[in-house]
Structure 1
């Protein structure tokens, strides 16, 4: 199967369709939120989860730095986690809930659809701040 954006989006759709109804509603909401922040945000399945990345031009970098990866929606033990691999660099003014980790990650727990909606403005601001730091 080719790795065009449409085939990658189809894989994300298939993943989401496999979720229970409550989790599916939250993940679909978050998916739309991420994709609507900027036209250069794309999606695929990475680390066995829906992932969002910057698809525009960037300066060369070591792939192990994860500079292109914005976030992963991870379902772990019934919890919905948004993992920003390099999220610790997001400005605190974005008001993102969650915890920063020494390895540079920020992880946010989403309890349900209402919680996702309540955090949507902060998530959008955090994503915009992340995008503003991309080395193009």
Structure 2
């Protein structure tokens, strides 16, 4: 079993679990972006967002709601970020679907990953048409 998250699920890799149910397990990330930074993974292996069944993804999101409330309550975090990356170009580094739950304590405790540039809504019409045409 070469997937570290599959080993966490199997109990053969050490982790600090803070929540689990029949579909998911949530454990503290070894690289804490902020205090309490947690990963939620499905118990079944799915490489990324392109492979995970919608029902399994829904279980992960339900766990994210619970874990977010748990972290906010236990740590006094007034905010929470959810983060997911699918694919190497999106900075995915462990190829087992997972969701980061990052408690926020101050507006400056993390740096935004991108700069937003707002476009006039009319200028997005061609892009929207291209995406809708796909399927």
The structure in which a higher percent of residues are helix is: 1
Higher Rg? 2
Same fold (TM over 0.5): no
The structure in which a higher percent of residues are strand is: 1
> Relative contact order (alpha carbons < 8 A, sep ≥ 6): 1 or 2 greater?
2
Q: TM-score, normalization: structure 1?
A: 0.26
Q: TM-score, normalization: structure 2?
A: 0.26
